[in-house]
Amino acid sequence: MTTAQLDPAVVMVPGFDESARPAAAEPDLITARREAAFKQYLELPMPTARDEEWRRTDPALIPFERFKPAEAPRRRAAPSGAGPWDDTFDVVVSVDDTGFEIRDNAGLLAQGGLTVQPLAEAAQRHPALIERYLQGPARVKHPRKFSALGDAFWRFGLFIHAPAKAIIPRGVLIRYTHAQSGRSVVPRLLAVVEDQAELTIAEHYESPDDAELLAITTRELYAGPGATLRAASLQEWGARTYHIGEDWVRAERDARIEWVTLLLGGQVSKMMVSCDVHEPNAQAYLSGLFFANRTQHVDQKTLQLHTAPNTYSNLLYKGAVKDQGHSVYQGIIDAAPGAIKVDAYQMNNNLILTEGARADSLPGLEIDADDLKCSHGATFGNLDQNQLFYLRARGLPEAEARQLLVMAFFEEVIARVPHEFMRERVREDVRRKCGDAA
């Protein structure tokens, strides 16, 4: 398929054409990557509801034409105000409509124990790393339209690098707070955790209910040999924010990835994570929590890629739907030829709390190897009537008993969230959504 054969109306995501490309001068390394991505972007058709992946999440649900790309945020010298959780992290990056700042709470950046830099700056200081990892080997298989868009058009790019043997359990918090209606924000994250290092990255997305926004996020994360990477994202966008997120993760030999995605806000969210357990003894724990109420629509696709023998992945995604809420889960376990002794597990549990709400689940396997252990499943149901009666027999009013059971349902995933404040925040969100009358 060549560019010439494609009608611009079919390939362009409204709002993302030639004129939306960043104008400012950037290091050649970055420019070259953007060029390659833009070319790919032009070669890929805009997804439609006829594509299997978008069949249940019609791209027409997202009013692309109403958004213009936001200006790139500028670096601020002075802090613009702290978030309530900032003190629990070693480094805090906060990004808003006009600026960003990087706060070095523990002096780790100054000492060189950790790198957290804008991508363009990193391309100058650490060209070899950027060369190797930006749009690098985690981007296996299937070129995807919105990843190419993110690579070509990103406006805020961040590079995080933990050197070999660095143990940074408190880690990095990235806060995105956007409020400018009619704008699209396109952040880009690249994180590399080197041999035997240990790092936690937490992300938080927030916008007010009255701002109409589009966020297109692209993340790429690498765990080197024996490294431990914990990545948790808490999505609490306001009621009129649309989010397309594509994440690429790769674990090398003996590495461990703990991935948690918490989707609570936004109007439409279409998320994808591809996790490649790439070398023997790599392990990935992928956890998801989502709760769609009112008219929210949440779609998540997961890929557990086992490209090497003796690799392990364990996925647990739990969701609830209420009112007119609609959730979609599509999962694939993919074991490459020769990937023997693979142990892969995939489970999606769904609570359907009210009539009119809908949850679709499509777990799947694509296996080209034998001598492996793969299992997957999905469950659907309302709350258990016997549990409900038990709680009510102890004096809990029905609404409170139901709320407690929804909390109980999610607790297994919440327990995998690496920070207590984030766990508490998710519990609060779930409580609020349970009590929220449509």
Partner 1 sequence: MSEQTPFFEIRNLHASTEDKPILKGVDLTIQPGETHALMGPNGSGKSTLSNVIMGHPAYEVTAGEILFRGQNILELEPDERARLGLFLAFQYPVAIPGITVAKFLKSAADARFGQGAVKPSDFIKRMRENLAFLEMSEQFLNRFLNDGFSGGEKKRMEILQMLTLKPSLAVMDETDSGLDIDALRIVSKGVNRLVGPEFGLLVITHYERILNYIKPDHLHVLIDGRIAMSGGPELVKEVEKNGYDWIRERFGKEVLV
Q: Which residues bind partner 1 (CB under 8 A)?
A: 384-387, 389-398, 400-401, 404-405, 407-412
Nearer to partner 1, 177 or 314 (CB): 314
In the complex, the smallest distance separating the C-beta of residue 298 from partner 1, rounded to whole angstroms, is 21
Beta strand 156-162 with 115-118: parallel, antiparallel or unpaired? antiparallel
In the complex, the smallest distance separating the C-beta of residue 286 from partner 1, rounded to whole angstroms, is 20
Nearer to partner 1, 32 or 380 (CB): 380
Using CA atoms, how far apart are residues 70 and 156, in angstroms rounded to an integer? Answer: 10
Closest by alpha carbon to 376, among 365, 366, 385? 365
In the complex, the smallest distance separating the C-beta of residue 269 from partner 1, rounded to whole angstroms, is 24
Tokens of 323: 């009112």
Tokens of 416: 């995998």
Nearer to partner 1, 370 or 398 (CB): 398
In the complex, the smallest distance separating the C-beta of residue 433 from partner 1, rounded to whole angstroms, is 16
Can you tell me whether residue 162 is helix, strand or coil?
A: strand
Nearer to partner 1, 341 or 427 (CB): 427
Closest by alpha carbon to 199, among 149, 163, 245, 234? 163
Nearer to partner 1, 164 or 408 (CB): 408
In the complex, the smallest distance separating the C-beta of residue 431 from partner 1, rounded to whole angstroms, is 12
In the complex, the smallest distance separating the C-beta of residue 318 from partner 1, rounded to whole angstroms, is 10
How many Cα neighbours within 13 Å face the side chain of 431?
A: 8
Nearer to partner 1, 295 or 379 (CB): 379
Nearer to partner 1, 117 or 349 (CB): 349
In the complex, the smallest distance separating the C-beta of residue 341 from partner 1, rounded to whole angstroms, is 30
Nearer to partner 1, 398 or 428 (CB): 398
In the complex, the smallest distance separating the C-beta of residue 351 from partner 1, rounded to whole angstroms, is 12
Nearer to partner 1, 165 or 389 (CB): 389
In the complex, the smallest distance separating the C-beta of residue 130 from partner 1, rounded to whole angstroms, is 43
